[in-house]
């Protein structure tokens, strides 16, 4: 797991604006969703093009947080990335950043029913959990997925973001969630990035302007506390 602790300077910056180092004092479980982002074989299995080894180490924390939220009456959503229809024609601004060979590997690996598209087998997915499939880094950007449409009728106003990669799809999803007026926390020891440095830079920047950064134990503890009145 990444050896990360939220820096005192980041907490102080938030405290200067808010009067406290974190905005979240508790979660209403029925209005809270755990978003598990892209924990699928393409990003987790050994030898895959975008393998992120630390992602395998965060699985126990993701499963523990999912179990705690379910038990409290909350919602768990398993999110996967898939190849867009038309592939490079559909997302040319991204495909142009790959060689044709490397883009082809990605394209094939994340087609529905491909090995890379499948969830990592050690994830504790349960009947009653939700699933969403996205075609961009963010699950909330227009046209990427039906995540917001699934959450809206459930009254969800708070999301906890976990998964891989911290600095790409997790961050993109978390930032867009805040822009859409969800209260957001990124779970530092349940997210994984290619390097410790990328993980740390993302979380520190996110905490200062977009939402809270919590550890798994802190998030579980907040399930038993009342959120502050708006």
What is the enclosing helix (H) or strand (E) of 81? strand 75-81
Looking at residue 91, what is its pLDDT? Answer: 83
Per-residue pLDDT of the chain (230 residues; tens, 9 = 90+): 999 999 999 999 999 999 999 999 999 999 999 999 999 999 999 999 999 999 999 999 999 999 999 999 999 999 999 987 765 567 888 888 999 999 899 999 999 989 999 999 999 999 999 999 999 999 999 999 999 999 999 999 999 999 999 999 999 999 999 999 999 999 999 999 999 999 999 999 999 999 999 999 999 999 978 766 54
Classify domain 8-222 at the CATH superfamily level. Isochorismatase-like (3.40.50.850)
Contact (CB, 8 A) for 161 and 191? yes
Task: Extract the tokens encoding 213.
Answer: 């950064």
The model's pTM is 0.95
Looking at residue 37, what is its pLDDT? Answer: 98
Looking at residue 230, what is its pLDDT? Answer: 46
Residue 189's φ and ψ, nearest 5 degrees, are -95, 15
SS3 annotation, 180-215: CCCEEEEEEEEEECCCHHHHHHHHHHHHHHCCEEEC
Looking at residue 195, what is its pLDDT? Answer: 98
Q: Where are the alpha helices (DSSP H) in 45-191?
A: 54-57, 59-72, 92-95, 100-109, 147-151, 171-179
Domain ranges of the chain: 8-222
Looking at residue 196, what is its pLDDT? Answer: 98
Looking at residue 193, what is its pLDDT? Answer: 98
């Amino acid at each position: 797991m990444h050896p990360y602790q939220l820096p005192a300077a980041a907490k102080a910056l938030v405290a200067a604006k808010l009067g406290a180092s974190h905005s979240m004092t508790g979660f209403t479980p029925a209005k809270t969703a755990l978003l598990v982002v892209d924990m699928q074989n393409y990003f987790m299995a050994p030898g895959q093009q975008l393998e992120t080894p630390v992602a395998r180490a965060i699985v126990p924390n993701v499963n523990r947080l999912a179990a705690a939220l379910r038990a409290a009456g909350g919602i768990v959503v398993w999110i996967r990335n898939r190849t867009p229809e038309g592939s490079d024609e559909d997302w040319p601004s991204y495909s142009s950043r790959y060689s044709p060979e490397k883009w082809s590997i990605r394209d094939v690996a994340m087609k529905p029913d491909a090995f890379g598209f499948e969830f990592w087998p050690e994830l504790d997915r349960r009947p009653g959990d939700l699933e969403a499939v996205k075609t961009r880094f963010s699950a909330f950007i227009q046209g990427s997925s039906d995540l917001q449409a699934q959450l809206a009728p459930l009254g969800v106003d708070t999301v906890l973001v976990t998964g891989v990669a911290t600095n790409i799809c997790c961050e993109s999803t978390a930032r867009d969630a805040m822009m859409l007026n969800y209260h957001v926390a990124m779970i530092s020891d349940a997210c994984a990035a290619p390097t410790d440095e990328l993980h740390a830079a993302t979380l520190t920047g996110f905490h200062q302007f977009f939402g809270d950064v919590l550890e798994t134990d802190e998030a579980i503890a907040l399930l038993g506390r009342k959120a502050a009145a708006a």
